[in-house]
Amino acid sequence: MLKKLVLLSVLGAALGGCTTVGPDFKAPASAADTSYRHAASNNNAARLPAQWWTVFGDATLDQLEARALRDNPGVQAAAQRLLQAQAQLGVVRAGQVPNVSVGVGVSNSRTSSETSQGIALGHRSIEGNNFSVGASLSYELDLWGRVRRVVEASDAQALAAQNDRDGVLLMLSGQVASSYWQLRGLDAELAILRDALAARREAQDLVEARFRGGLTNELDVSRARIERANAEADLHEVQRQRNTVEHALATLVGASPSAPLLAGDAKAQLPQPPNIPVGLPASLVGQRPDLAASVAQIKSFNAQVGVAEGAFYPSLSLTSNFGFASEHLRDLASGGARQFSFGPLALSLPIFDGGRNKANLALSKARYEEAVANHQTRLLTALREVEDALSDVEQRQRQGEVQTQSQQAAARALLVAQARYQRGLSTYLDVTEAQRTSLAADRAASQIRTQRLLATVAVARALGGGWEQGEALATIAKAPQ
């Protein structure tokens, strides 16, 4: 009997494989196979490594990225969402195979002697024990492929959840890199301000000595004190900004902001930004997890159109059971105690539903078209992010080259102003103006170097950071414990 049931299930599955309701999935169109507008002329089709931040060659950044991927609570939450999607896929896939259950029962019953049945038996009641053991089977024969479309939709949702998890990892790694270079940029600016403050103090001491010797006036002393106080105030402001960035960076790596994360570097030197291989816009869908997740969502909605179409077709389900039942436990395995039922083999065909199935189909198609339109929006946004980042890299480089000229000219002007003041050819006002100009030029040059590094991070992030599906989990596994 069980062999017959299994054979019938296999036959139903074979028949179901002959057709599948709904349209087959077709990937949406990608970007044009042209180069980026602001890409460097020596651009190539190479890809970033999976651990893209290693292109900066900074060991401290590598350690922070590893800590963030391992300890950040947002990463852990994204991993749990992925596990939920995978578990839901397992639940849906279970609908493709027969559901077999085994049951054992023991009961004691007594019928009334005053019922019609009891009266027919001469006012007798029936009582006794009942022992039973058996198996039951239920199975929906997927003749039209509706169940396969349900599984396909759930599988696409699980893939989208995986890509969303990878997107969280990419966003986190970009935030860690940006915060780190902001921190190091502020360290470099603090070093400039400390040198400026030391120079202002020396200048103040010099002016005060000249005042005591009758070589200058009190106005020059006040100006020297003002410049020293301004430099010290700027130092405290930049230190405040550094503390804020350090707190944010500690949160990203899953550490308490109350504990120091990175000590300040008194001789901080910002490196030259590395060259990022850009490739072509047409490859962007395969490089960014958010775009891959968007394609998976389209596939899920496409499969749901097939599920909605399947509601117009008949559904065929089979139930059966086989087992033994006996009043006495010792007779439970005897041939006479055997019982079974085959069926019903139920056929359900929708005739009139008030337009429910038609409305569900229209709803599914509209959701699919919305997903396609949303994907095109995400694709255009991704292309804009890449172009914005490439433009920033290009313009920041040019800005840095010009700012270097300004920095050199301001330094020379300061030397001239100091020499003229010491010889009595000008007032201290010329020195203070030259000091302000030189300090502003130095700080601007440092800030531009920081912005160039941040723009490079933005390029890597906009390109997907060397992402390839399935590699993000391996990145976490390799993180040091």
Q: How many CB atoms lie within 10 A of CB 142?
A: 24
- Domain check: are 322 and 471 in the same one? no
Cα distance between residue 52 and residue 464, in whole Å: 9
More confident position, 394 or 428: 394
- Domain check: are 384 and 293 in the same one? yes
- Domain check: are 121 and 207 in the same one? no
Which tens digit of pLDDT belongs to each residue from 269-305?
888 999 888 877 878 788 889 998 999 999 999 999 9
pLDDT at 408: 92
- Domain check: are 293 and 366 in the same one? yes
Please report which confidence band the pLDDT of residue 26 belongs to, taking 50, 70 and 90 as the band edges.
confident
pLDDT at 281: 81
Q: What percent of the chain has pLDDT over 90?
A: 28
Contact between 199 and 207 under an 8 Å Cβ cutoff? The reply is no
Q: Token pair 């460097």 is at which residue? A: 40
Structure tokens at 314: 């008949």
* CATH number of the domain bearing residue 131: 2.20.200.10
Q: How many CB atoms lie within 10 A of CB 91?
A: 9
Contact between 433 and 417 under an 8 Å Cβ cutoff? The reply is yes
- The answer, yes or no, to whether residue 178 has pLDDT greater than 90, is yes
Which tens digit of pLDDT belongs to each residue from 441-467?
999 999 999 999 999 999 999 988 888
N- to C-terminal Cα separation, the chain: 56
Question: Span 392-411, mean pLDDT?
Answer: 91
- Domain check: are 187 and 218 in the same one? yes
Burial environment of residue 147 by CB neighbours within 10 A (0 to 12, 13 to 18, 19 or more): buried
Cis preceding-peptide flag for 289 (omega within 30 of 0) = no
- The answer, yes or no, to whether residue 43 has pLDDT greater than 60, is no
Q: Token pair 């040019």 is at which residue? A: 398
Amino acid identity for residue 455 in this structure: A
- Parent domain of 110: 98-141+315-348
- Domain check: are 260 and 158 in the same one? yes
Please report which confidence band the pLDDT of residue 136 belongs to, taking 50, 70 and 90 as the band edges.
confident
Please report which confidence band the pLDDT of residue 41 belongs to, taking 50, 70 and 90 as the band edges.
low
Structure tokens at 218: 């009190």
Give the domain-ending residue among 296, 330, 348.
348
Cα distance between residue 438 and residue 445, in whole Å: 11
More confident position, 316 or 5: 316
Q: What percent of the chain has pLDDT over 70?
A: 89
- Domain check: are 448 and 334 in the same one? no
Question: Span 334-351, mean pLDDT?
Answer: 73
* CATH number of the domain bearing residue 23: 1.20.1600.10
Question: Span 82-111, mean pLDDT?
Answer: 80
- The answer, yes or no, to whether residue 16 has pLDDT greater than 50, is no
Question: Span 410-436, mean pLDDT?
Answer: 85
pLDDT at 243: 93
- The answer, yes or no, to whether residue 9 has pLDDT greater than 50, is no
- Domain check: are 40 and 108 in the same one? no
Residue 267: alpha-carbon gap to chain centroid: 36
Which tens digit of pLDDT belongs to each residue from 365-376?
999 999 999 999
Question: Span 178-184, mean pLDDT?
Answer: 94
Which tens digit of pLDDT belongs to each residue from 221-255?
888 888 889 989 999 999 999 999 999 999 999 88
Cα distance between residue 375 and residue 388, in whole Å: 20
Cα distance between residue 360 and residue 180, in whole Å: 50
| DSSP type of residue 389 | H
- The answer, yes or no, to whether residue 481 has pLDDT greater than 60, is no
In Å, what is the CA distance from 193 to each residue of 239, 410, 437, 441? 10, 16, 13, 12
Question: Span 324-330, mean pLDDT?
Answer: 73
Least confident range of 1-5, 59-63, 151-155, 406-410: 1-5
- Domain check: are 185 and 66 in the same one? yes
- The answer, yes or no, to whether residue 148 has pLDDT greater than 90, is no
- The answer, yes or no, to whether residue 45 has pLDDT greater than 70, is no
Split into its structural domains, the chain has a count of 2
Cα distance between residue 412 and residue 434, in whole Å: 9
| DSSP type of residue 438 | H
> Counting every residue, how long is the chain?
481
Q: How many CB atoms lie within 10 A of CB 120?
A: 9
- Domain check: are 229 and 197 in the same one? yes
Question: Span 88-97, mean pLDDT?
Answer: 79
The mean pLDDT value of the chain amounts to 82
- Domain check: are 286 and 404 in the same one? yes
Alpha helices in 32-113 (DSSP H): 59-71, 73-93
Read off the pTM.
0.80
SS3 assignment, position 296: helix
- Domain check: are 167 and 209 in the same one? yes
